[in-house]
Structure 1
Amino acid sequence: MTHLNLQPGQKLRLGIGNSQTMYSSQVQDISKDGSILIDTPIYSGHLVPVRVGSIIQVIYFTKQGLFTFYAKVLNRFSGKLPLLEIMPISSVERLQRRQYFRLEKIIPFTYTIKDDEEGKVYKGIIQDISGGGLRCKVDKKLEIGTVINCNFTLNKEISVSGKVVRFEELLEKGYEIGLCYIDIDEKMREKIISYIFEEQRKSRLKGIE
């Protein structure tokens, strides 16, 4: 099986069993037979129990995009560096930049307007979020092209700048705007996408999707 840009040191996110959490890991080695050695994930200071024979979802990010595949756990190794040996059992799926998953989620956020010398802080509500941008409700009219600096909390603090690419006056008070991230750090984008995958995984496990 071909692993698209998967190399030792590559950061991974793992979906394991019925857990609603996506766990962090890292590639340590790739064998000629296609098996991969990865760090056993740690959560809250403890090793995450992973059964040999279980199927896990692997997600990783490169400059070329977002990739995911499923793998079977072949072996576990203890020691100073606890490892898992996994073998991919599905093809690697590549998602284009424009194919970011969009999550409908109500998230309070604050923002400042880039060209506002006073730096006044405004409040708004995120209605859905993706790795490419936000759909929000705000009280202030923001023209297309306006750049705002947004701060909100997912499972971590997020700070991003976005350009208004769409706005619509609502029948009730306020405006709905569409934001496209600009100059976003890829690590920050990774945090957002990882959160979205984690929330979607929770929904699937609860039988909502």
Structure 2
Amino acid sequence: MQRPFRAGVNIEVVIPTGSPEDHTGHAHAIYSFILEARPDELVLRAPVDCDGPVKLQPGTEITLWRYRGAATYVTAVTVVAERPGEPPLLVTTSPSDTRELVSRKYFRVQAEIPFRTGHLKGQVRDISGAGILAAVPPGSLSRGQTYPVDIELPGSKGPAAVQARVVRVLSGAEEDLAGMCFEHIDEKTREEIIHYVFRRQRELIRLGELGYPWRRL
């Protein structure tokens, strides 16, 4: 099996929030390309944001993400040196702890996404490829029942439509929290949800609200 972080592949770079290099906050994805992969180092094109090449000091730990079909890989490397030129290059240590996120559909993130079933409106509070936790008006959903659900995923052309069964309800004075698992969902829709989950995960990492996944698995 080929190494996921090898020469010739595109990657996404995440810089730790709060580091000196994170002067813009990097609320968007920053991409790079692996030019060389040696036993002790990687040579990357310097990642570029809207202001040009991102300056990274030696000793900075960065996160690399790689997407390959349905698989997602993540690893950490440390910046060793910058190489000026056209394009500028970045030398890092070689990946030492690469993880494939194999339980992708079960990884759950917090969210605030519009939710609808029939005429009932609510809000998704967390989501994974296997189900959601939805905030709804008190008494509106029943445990054990299956409902047609539309989830308004940010950046999608239309709602993700699934059939979801209520597996638990935490009742409250102002709202109920309903845990729902997806009963009937096509794989394209599940992939859209999973892609959103990982986009949201990376956003939370950049905001410092979620730990690094290879330290959590």
The correspondence of residues 137-176 of structure 1 with structure 2, limited to 5 A, is: 137-139=135-137, 140-141=140-141, 144-153=145-154, 156=155, 159-172=159-172, 174=176, 176=178
Shift of residue 32 of structure 1? 3.8
CA–CA separation in structure 1 for the residues paired with 2:74 and 2:117:
35
Shift of residue 24 of structure 1? 2.3
1:38 pairs with 2:44: yes
What TM-score does the superposition give when structure 2 sets the normalisation length?
Answer: 0.66
CA–CA separation in structure 1 for the residues paired with 2:43 and 2:201:
26
Gaps of 5+ in 1: 114-119
Gaps of 5+ in 2: 212-217
Q: 1:133 to 1:78 in 2, by over 3 A?
A: farther
The number of residues matched between the two structures is: 195
1:193 pairs with 2:198: yes
Report the equivalent of 2:12: 12
Q: CA RMSD in A?
A: 3.7
Report the equivalent of 2:101: 95
Match of 2:133 among 132, 135, 154: 135
SS in 2 for 1:203: coil
Deviations, residues 152-182 of structure 1 (Å, cap 9, x unaligned): 44xx558533331334455345561424364
Shift of residue 109 of structure 1? 0.7
Match of 1:71 among 72, 77, 97: 77
Shift of residue 93 of structure 1? 1.7
Tell me which protein shows more strand as a share of its residues: 1
Q: 1:16 to 1:187 in 2, by over 3 A?
A: farther
Report the equivalent of 1:116: none
